[in-house]
């Protein structure tokens, strides 16, 4: 090997540890970021799907008549007035 190749190899070898550690760190950060983004996208997709499902269903309505309750309370009031 020529002296230039030897010097280049030594220079590359000297910074190899730092470079590999930096690459590993960047790879972990990218993996974590993609996982977070995937969770957020999945959350919004599920939320949007659930909301559209709920909006497509007919709303439940209840009709309540209070006539019987009013009659009952009226009879109680009449009963109290006659007892006094």
pLDDT tens for the chain, 84 residues: list them: 688 899 888 888 888 889 999 999 999 999 999 999 999 999 999 999 999 988 888 878 888 888 888 888 888 877 565 555
Total number of domains constituting the chain: 1
- State how far the Cα of 44 lies from the Cα of 47, in Å rounded to an integer: 5
Domain limits at 8? Answer: 3-83
* Residue 63 phi, psi dihedral angles, 5° rounding: -105, 120
What are the helix and strand counts (H, E) for the chain?
A: 3, 0
pLDDT at 12: 85
Residues in contact with 1: Cβ distance below 8 Å, sequence separation at least 6, in sequence order: 9
pLDDT at 46: 96
| pTM more than 0.95 | no
CA atoms within 13 A on the CB side of 49: 6
Token output for 80: 């109290």
């Amino acid at each position: 090997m020529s002296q230039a190749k030897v010097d280049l190899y030594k220079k590359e070898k000297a910074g190899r540890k730092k470079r590999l550690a930096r690459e590993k760190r960047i790879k972990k950060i990218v993996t974590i970021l993609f996982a977070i983004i995937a969770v957020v996208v999945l959350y919004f997709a599920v939320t949007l799907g659930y909301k559209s499902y709920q909006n497509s269903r007919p709303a439940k309505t209840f009709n309540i008549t209070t006539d019987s309750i009013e009659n009952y309370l009226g009879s109680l009031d009449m009963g109290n007035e006659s007892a006094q």
